[in-house]
Structure 1
Amino acid sequence: MTSNTCVVTGASRGIGRGIAVEFGERGWNVVVNYRQSEDSAAETVERVEAAGGEAIAVQADVTDVEAVEAMADRTHEAFGPVDVLVNNAGVNQDTFFKEMTHEEWDTVLDVHLDGAFHCTQALYDDLVEADEGRLINISSIIGKDGNQGQANYATAKAGIFGFTRTLALEFARSGSTANCVAPGFVETDMLADIPEHIEEAVKSDTPLGRYGTVEEIADVVGFLASEKSSFITGEVIDVNGGKDL
């Protein structure tokens, strides 16, 4: 690649932060997108820079198209064209379907699907004009398997699969790629409050017998962003400890 700039949405913590740091270790320029956690985003910037990259934090609600376009402008001002976009921003509002409100349904789909749409459109020209542009979408094992109390989340994450495969076909003419990473259960803040008996059930149902780590997800994203993945596109890469076996 002739340049080395990436945008990671939802990068103030968790998997997004781990991905941002991974790019920092590779010496990239990293745009750390966040919605409201300014202090956490600043900490991600510090970690990226400590790892060897350059970084800026840019606030933007990915459901707001004008905010996303402003983020793209800020990115171009700071670093120029983007080579890699990682659509990672997400949210969950869990409840059983019978009790789920329209607002809970809409909020989750808006963040995951509209957010990916807005960010990819805003940076589409960069990605197709890059020597080897990369679109990397973060989905979930829940998009494949479903999960009780997560009809909205499962639907959104499944939608990312179709989005990825369609963009892969449209990007192919320019030599750019689009792929998806579908993590299993990963050690993040989202799992911190899971009751111990459920945690043990999840681990026992995973052949490798444990949660994944943020670094293990970030490593796969880093590979997909590299030249070594140049003949991989339209794929959903499962990183779940063998849970689907």
Structure 2
Amino acid sequence: MEFKDKRVIVTGGTKGLGKAIALSFAREGAWVAANYAADDLSAADTQSKLADLASKYLVLKADVTSRPDVEHMIKHILEQWEHIDILVNNAGIIRDKLLMFLNEDDWDRVIDVNLKGTYLCSRAVIRTMISKKFGRIINITSPSALKGRAGQTNYSASKGGIISFTKSLAREMARLGITVNAVCPGFIATPMTSDLNAEIKCDLSSRIPMGRLGQPEDVAGTVLFLASPKAGYITGQVLAVDGGLT
């Protein structure tokens, strides 16, 4: 088991991509802390699955936009597990509107969850990683950050900010045994895309050179690679998992 007894936090870790990432780490022997914000039913399902897979696990409700919430969550994990090896900043939301209809609340909320949440969680784990001279921070971004998308000025800005954050933090941490990278998933089959009708799904698939939507496990496998010893000399990079879309 490649990640036996490694301590992992996955924000937004009880649904969709985050859930797939959390369960994949658990299958490889990691201790997994799955964070979530609101959906208690999904959290209960993830907890049940982690109980079958992980030797140690936590499912923690916390708002990643709140510094007190994040600090309390990290403190609780450190009290239980002593240190943190891997952070996956996956928590994110969308509130799509054309800019002329986009109100300030929808702008602020997307920036807060996607970008500020990444900042707060990364900042909260840095000291424990520095003390061990080891750490992996993996941030989930989006093709919208690379190409832009109409109706997503808020989302594209937040995810583009994550890319710049990743590259800057990677330089800060490079001599301290900590790598910082980003994964850029394309169209992935998640609960969000399952609600789309067949015509839209067909249209999405036709835009992808590989001709299909990705699976959550495609993204999870990439995250696990970047967290592994095999990727120890990779930092500050953005790895697209999109079937050739970008």
Query: TM-score interval w.r.t. the shorter chain?
Result: over 0.9
Q: Deviations over 1:143-168 (max 9, x none)?
A: 11211211111111111100000110
| Separation in 2, partners of 1:122, 1:27 | 24
The equivalent of 2:89 in structure 1 is 87
Q: Deviations over 1:6-35 (max 9, x none)?
A: 110001100000000011011111111011
Q: Deviations over 1:125-146 (max 9, x none)?
A: 1222334310000001111121
The equivalent of 2:8 in structure 1 is 6
Q: Deviations over 1:157-210 (max 9, x none)?
A: 111100000110011111210000000000011112324333222111101001
The equivalent of 2:196 in structure 1 is 194
| Separation in 2, partners of 1:157, 1:93 | 13
- Secondary structure at the counterpart of residue 134 of structure 1: strand
Give, in angstroms, the shift of residue 109 of structure 1: 0.3
Mapped pair 1:243 → 2:242: no
- Secondary structure at the counterpart of residue 93 of structure 2: coil
Q: Deviations over 1:24-49 (max 9, x none)?
A: 01111111101111231222122223
Mapped pair 1:130 → 2:137: no
Report if the CA contact (8 A) 2:5-2:29 is conserved: no
| Separation in 1, partners of 2:225, 2:8 | 14
Report if the CA contact (8 A) 1:181-1:221 is conserved: yes
Identity %: 38
Q: Deviations over 1:49-69 (max 9, x none)?
A: 323442111111000000000
The equivalent of 1:220 in structure 2 is 222
- Secondary structure at the counterpart of residue 192 of structure 2: helix
Report if the CA contact (8 A) 2:65-2:120 is conserved: yes
Mapped pair 1:153 → 2:155: yes
TM-score computed with the length of structure 2 as normaliser: 0.95
Distance 1:218 1:53, change over 3 A: farther
TM-score computed with the length of structure 1 as normaliser: 0.95
Report if the CA contact (8 A) 1:3-1:83 is conserved: no
Distance 1:3 1:50, change over 3 A: closer
Mapped pair 1:46 → 2:48: yes
| Separation in 2, partners of 1:65, 1:134 | 21
Structure 1 gaps, min length 5: none
Give, in angstroms, the shift of residue 97 of structure 1: 1.3
